[in-house]
Chains A and B, each alone.
Chain A
Amino acid sequence: MSTAAVIRFPGSNCEFETARVLRKSGIDTRIYNWNEIEKLSDSRADAYILPGGFSFQDRIRAGVVAAGESIMDLIFQEAVNGKPILGICNGAQVLVESGLVPGWKPGAIQGALASNLSPGRSGYLSDWVYLKSTDEAREKSPWLCALGQEAIPVPIAHAEGRFVFREDDLDKVKSNIGLVYCGVNGEAAEGWPENPNGSILDIAALMNPEGNVLAIMPHPERCFHLWQVPPGIKGPWGELRRNASLKDLEEKPGPGAVVFKSLAKYLGENNG
C-alpha cells in the first residue's frame, strides 16, 4: 500500500482531516510532529503533505518560521528527489517560503503569498470559490492528474493567499500554474470575489517546474464528501447537492476528492 506523511508544525490545525481523507483514498497515512525527523526519514513515505493551519501563528509572515524548521531539510530533499509534495493553505505558504514553489531555482524565494487584496476588507476570508485546472497540471501533477476540465467548487479560508511574482517572471510562471480561480462554469474570473484575494493571473495553486510539488491555497480536504458542499452553491455542483438522495449524499465524492484520488492513481501507477 502506498504511504503518505502529514507533517504537523506547531500551530498546524488541519492535520487530522487531511490524514483522514488520504486514508479514505486508500493511502496509508501517518501524522508526524515537526521534531520527529528521524521517524519520518525512516518511514520513506511515498508522498508528503503540509496541512493547513497557523504554523507559529503566522507570526512575522505566514509560513516563514516553519520553513526554517529542520524537518524542512528532509522535505526539501524529497522534493528534489521527485516525491509528490502537497502544501495546503498554510502548507502552501510554507512551500513558497521554502523556495520549493515556484522552484525554478530550488531553495531560492521566487514568489510570495501576500496578504489578501480585496475591496473594503482586509484579513481573513472564508468562502467557496470555483477552480479550474490547467493542461500542464493534468499532465504532470500527481495531485491534479485525475482532474477534468470542468470547474469545481472548493472552500478557501486564509488571510495571506495572494500569489505574487517578480514582473520578469510573469511569463515563466504560466507553465507552473496548477489551478486558477474561475467563474461557476469555468469562465475566467472577473475580479473579486471570484478571485478572492487578488492573486496574480488568478492563481489558486502553483507547481514547481517538474510538477511534483504543489502549493494550493483552497482546501480540497474540506469538500471530500458531497454532504460538505453548501446547499445554496451556484452551478452544477449545487444542483447535484440539492437533488442528492440520502445514499448519494453519503457516498458521492465531493469536488475536492479528486485531488487525493489523483495521488492514489499516480502512486498506483508508479509503485506498480
Chain B
Amino acid sequence: MSKRPDREELKKEISKRGLAMTADEADKLAGYVDRLPTPLEFHLFDTMWSEHCSYKSSKSVLKTLPTDSPGVVIGPGEDAGVVSFCHQDGKEWDLVVAHESHNHPSQVLPVEGAATGIGGIVRDVYCMGARVTGSMDLLRFGDPQGKKGETTRGIVRGVVEGIWKYGNALGVPNMGGDTEFHPGYDDNCLVNVVAFGVVPHDRIVHSFVPEQAHKEPYVLILTGKPTDSTGFGGATFASADLDGELGMGSVQVADPFLKRVLSEANQAVLDMLFEKEVEFGFKDLGAGGIACVTSELAAHGGLGIDVDLDAVPVSVKNLPPEVIACSETQERYGLAVPATVIDDVLNIYNEKFELPRLFPNCRAAVIGKFTSKPMYNVVCRGENAAETPINYITEGVVYEREELPIENEIVEPDSRPCNPSVDLVKILTSVSGCSREHIWSYYDSEVQGVTRLRPGEADSCVSVPIEGSRVGLAVSGDGNPWYGELDPFLGGAHAVGEAVRNVVATGATPICATDCLNFGNPEDPKAFWQFKQAVAGISEGCNTLGFSGGDFPLPIVSGNVSFYNQSIGGKAIPPSPIVAVFGKIHDHRKATDIVLRKEGNLILLIGTRKDELGGSIFYRTCLNHHGGTVPVFKGALEKKMADWVLSTIHDGKAFSVHDISIGGLAVAGAEMALASGKLGIEFSLDSNPVTLFSETPGYLMEVDGRFIEDITLPEFVSVAGKVCNKSSVSGNGWFVNLEALRKEWSDKLASIVWREEGV
C-alpha cells in the first residue's frame, strides 16, 4: 500500500470524500495505519470521530452529570441505560431507557426524520434484550404564525405524520411527550425521542462479543433489511450545520413493517439463545452502519474481526466498499454468536419469519468472524478495504472547547396590567397555551393494553408494563426554551424539576432520568458556555432531587448531545436541555390524574407563589414581554414538596393532582377543570398576576375538606379554593366559562397548523 500522505494530500481526500474530519484528525488516522487510509477507513473514522458518536466536545462536561445511584444497573455508555425496576413472581425486572435527538433530518425531511428517530431509539432498547413498552416525542418547533410559519406548519404536520405512520405500526404505545413553539427553532426544529422497555435482569443483552468468544469460534450475523446507500454520511450529517442542501444518500428510509417483524424474530432468536445457554452479543445498526457495529462489538469484547463485505445482503449491486460498510440503511441488527448456532439463528430469521419473502433480499447472513488478533480487517471483492488496529477505532477523540459567558440583563415589564378573565382566555387559546390533544389524537397510546393513564389525563403517562404485577411506570419529558434562553442553568435545573413534578403528581417516585442536550455550535464559546451552564443546571436538579435515600442523586442513565442546532444565519437555537424522568408506583391503582372528582372538595396549593414571571406565558402572551426573572430553582424545597405529595397520594388522600408550571396556578386550575367535564374550581386567592400566573414550581391537589382538619399542613401548603359544579375557573373578581372555551382550547393547534386558518 501507499506510503503515509502529507497534509495537502489529506486535505484533498477530505474534500473529495465530503468528510467532516479536520486535517489534524486525518493526519492522526494516517499515522495509525502508516499509509494513505482506504476510503472505508476514512469514512469509518469520520463517523467514529463525529460529534454524534465521539462526544468529542461534550465528553469532559458530561462527566460532571450524576450517574450513580443504588438502582443503576447500566449507566451511560451502552445503547441504553438500565435500572432495577421491580420483583414479580421471583423474577427481577429492569427498566431500560434511551433518549436521542433526530433534529437535523427532521428539519429537512420531517416525515422520514421523525420516523427514523423513533426507529433508532426503539432499536437501542430492543438490543438490550428488552421488550419496548413505550415511546415519547419531545418536540420543539418554530413559530407557526411567525415569519417562517408556512415552513414550520409543514414541518409540524410532517413530524406528527412520521411519528404516527412509523410509531403506530411498530406496536409501541406512544406516551405523548410535549410540544413547544419558539421562533428560535424556525430554521432548526428539535425532535427528541425517548423509548423504554422492561427486561428480566438475567436476560440483559450486551453490545459486545462475550468472554466465551476468546475460547471458541464466534461469528457475526447481520440481519434485517438489505444494505443500500441510504444514510451514507448520516452521522456526520447529524453533526454538521444545516445548509439546506444534502445528497440523496443522507435520506434514511424507515420501514416499520419490517421492523415489527424483525423485532418479533429477534425475540424468538434471543429466546432460543437463552434456552441453549450460549453467550452472545447484540447491537443495532445506527450511525456508521456495518463498520461501527462490527468494530464496536469486537473491540469492546477485546477481540478483532474479519469482515467479508461480499457476504452482506445488498439491494443495489456494485456499491463501493465504503458505502456498504458505512451506509445507514434502517432496520438492521448485528449479532455475535458461537458458530455452533448459526443454522438455528438463520432458520428463525429466514425461514420461520420469512424475511426474504417480505422484502427482496432481506435476510440474516454471516458476514464476519471474530479473531484473537486485535485487528479490524475488511475484504471486498478480493481486496483489503480496511486493515486497522481495532483499538484505534473505538479510542475516540476529545476536545476542550472554550466558553464565554453571555451577560443577560434582567428586564421586567414597566407595568403589569392584569385582567384574569381576559388574560386566562388569551393564554388558553394561544399556540403555547392551548391543548396538544390534536397531536396525540394521531398517536396510538393504547396498543399492548398496558396503558393506565394516557396523554392529557394526568401529568405523566402511566403504564403497567409487567404482566401480573401492579407496579406502574410513569414517564414525563420536559424543557422550557423560554427559561433556557434567559438562563441556561435554570433551563437545565427546571427541566429536571418539572419532569420530576409531573411524575410525582401521578404518585410515582422518580427512579432515573435521561437527557438530550440540544445546543448550537460548540466551537462558538458562547454556545459552549450555554451548554456547560445547562449541564450544571441538570446536575443541580438531579443532585437535589434524588429519591433513593441518603445523598444519592436522581441518576442520569442515558442521553445524547445534539450540537450545531442553529438558524441559517448561524444563530444558535435557545439552549434546550430536555430531560425525561421515569418513576415507579408500587400500586398503579393509586395513581392520580388531573380529573376533578367531587363538588365541595378542597383545592390545596403546594408551593408558595413568588414574583418570578420571567419567561412566563403571561408575560409573553398578555404583555408581549420576553424578559424577566426566571423562577429560582429551590431543589431542597422541591424535594420536600414532592415527598409530601407522594405520601398524601399513597395514603389515598389526594383525589386529583396537577403540577404548576407553564401558565402558573390559573392555567393549572383551568386544565384540571377542562379535563373534568362538569366540574370546575373556585379560587379564594388574591387576583394578582403573581398569584395567578407566576410559574413558581408547585402543585394543585384536590382533597376532602376533612383531610386538613386532622393534620398540620406544612408551611408550603395552603388552601387555594374548592371544587364547584360548573365547568369554569374563577377567583375574586374574575370568572372564565370553560364550557364555552373548550372547543377553541382543544382545536386551536389543528386550526392553525393543520387547517391553516387565519394565518
Interface residue ranges, A against B (CB under 8 Å) = 8, 10-14, 16-17, 20-21, 33, 35, 52-54, 56-59, 120-121, 123-127, 155, 157, 219, 221-222, 224, 227-228, 230-232, 234, 238, 242-243, 246, 249-250
Contact = CB atoms under 8 A, between A and B. Distances in A.
Contacts of B387: none
Contacts of B512: none
B449 A124 contact: no
A231 B453 CA distance: 8
A120 B588 CA distance: 37
Contact of A246 (B464, B589, B751, B755): B589
Contacts of A52: 447
Contacts of A155: 446
B257 interface: yes
B168 interface: yes
A53 B444 CA distance: 11
A5 B220 CA distance: 36
A101 to B, nearest CB: 23
A135 to B, nearest CB: 30
B589 A249 contact: yes
B593 interface: yes
Nearest to B353: A33
Interface stretch (B33-41, B89-97, B435-443): B435-443
A228 B457 CA distance: 12
Contact of A157 (B257, B260, B358, B447): B447
Interface in B662-721: 675-677
Given A234-B677, A242-B597, A123 B467 contact: no
Contacts of A123: 161, 164, 442
A126 B168 CA distance: 10
A156 to B, nearest CB: 10
A17 B448 contact: yes
Given A123-B161, A124-B168, A227-B452, A11 B261 contact: yes
Contacts of A234: 677
B170 interface: yes
B264, B438, B449, B755 — which one has the most chain A CB atoms within 10 A of its CB? B449
B589 A14 contact: no
A224 B171 contact: no
Contacts of A250: 470, 589
Given A13-B260, A33-B352, 11 more contacts: A20-B449, A21-B449, A35-B352, A59-B257, A120-B754, A120-B755, A121-B754, A228-B446, A228-B452, A238-B677, A246-B590
- Top 7 closest pairs, chain A to chain B, by CB: A13-B171, A17-B449, A57-B257, A54-B169, A231-B595, A246-B589, A232-B595
Contact of A13 (B164, B170, B440, B751): B170
B442 A54 contact: no
A249 to B, nearest CB: 5
A242 B441 contact: no
Max chain B C-beta neighbours (<10 A), residue from A11, A16, A127, A249: A11
Given A13-B169, A230-B457, A54 B260 contact: yes
Contacts of B240: none
B750 interface: yes
26 contacts: A10-B260, A10-B353, A10-B354, A10-B358, A11-B257, A12-B260, A13-B260, A17-B447, A20-B449, A33-B353, A53-B169, A57-B256, A58-B169, A120-B750, A120-B751, A121-B438, A121-B754, A126-B445, A157-B168, A157-B446, A157-B447, A222-B447, A231-B453, A231-B457, A231-B593, A249-B589
Given A53-B171, A227-B589, A230-B454, A16 B448 contact: yes
A54 B171 CA distance: 9
B727 to A, nearest CB: 12
Given A13-B170, A157-B447, A126 B257 contact: no
A21 B597 CA distance: 30
Name, among B255, B264, B676, the residue most crowded by chain A CB atoms within 10 Å (CB to CB): B264
Contacts of A124: 164-165, 168, 442, 444
B257 A10 contact: yes
A10 B256 CA distance: 11
A129 to B, nearest CB: 13
Contacts of A249: 589
A127 B442 CA distance: 9
B169 A57 contact: yes
Contact of A126 (B440, B595, B677): B440
Interface in B426-483: 438, 440-454, 457, 464, 467, 470
Interface in B386-443: 438, 440-443
B655 to A, nearest CB: 9
B587 interface: yes
Contacts of A16: 448-449
A13 B450 CA distance: 13
B677 A228 contact: no
Contacts of B751: 120
B446 A125 contact: no
Contacts of A17: 447-450
A115 to B, nearest CB: 14
Q: Chain A binding site: helix, strand, loop or mixed by DSSP?
A: mixed
A126 B457 CA distance: 14
A11 B355 CA distance: 12
A54 B754 contact: no
Contacts of A127: 441
A20 B353 CA distance: 22
A249 B453 CA distance: 13
A58 to B, nearest CB: 8
Contact of A227 (B264, B588, B755): B588
Contacts of A59: 257
A243 B352 CA distance: 48
A40 to B, nearest CB: 14
A258 B50 CA distance: 56
A219 B446 CA distance: 10
Nearest to A245: B589
A232 B457 contact: yes
A232 B444 CA distance: 18
B238 to A, nearest CB: 26
A157 B169 CA distance: 11
A250 B472 CA distance: 13
Nearest to A157: B444
Nearest to A55: B257
Nearest to B755: A120
Given A126-B441, A232-B457, A232-B677, A13 B451 contact: no
Contacts of A125: 441-442
A60 to B, nearest CB: 12
Nearest to B171: A13
Nearest to B449: A17
A221 B450 CA distance: 11
Contacts of A12: 260
A155 B173 CA distance: 14
Contacts of B675: 232
Contacts of B161: 123
B677 to A, nearest CB: 6
Contacts of A58: 169
B446 A222 contact: yes
A126 B589 contact: no
A135 B330 CA distance: 50
B122 to A, nearest CB: 13
Nearest to A14: B447
User: Which one of A12, A35, A57 has the highest number of Cβ atoms from chain B below 10 Å of its Cβ?
Assistant: A57
Nearest to B352: A33
- Listed residue (B446, B451, B467, B470) with the most chain A CB atoms within 10 angstroms of its CB: B446
A54 B441 contact: no
A10 B262 CA distance: 9
B260 A11 contact: yes
Contacts of B587: 246
A196 B499 CA distance: 33
Contacts of B467: 20
A56 B264 CA distance: 14
Nearest to A17: B449
A177 to B, nearest CB: 25
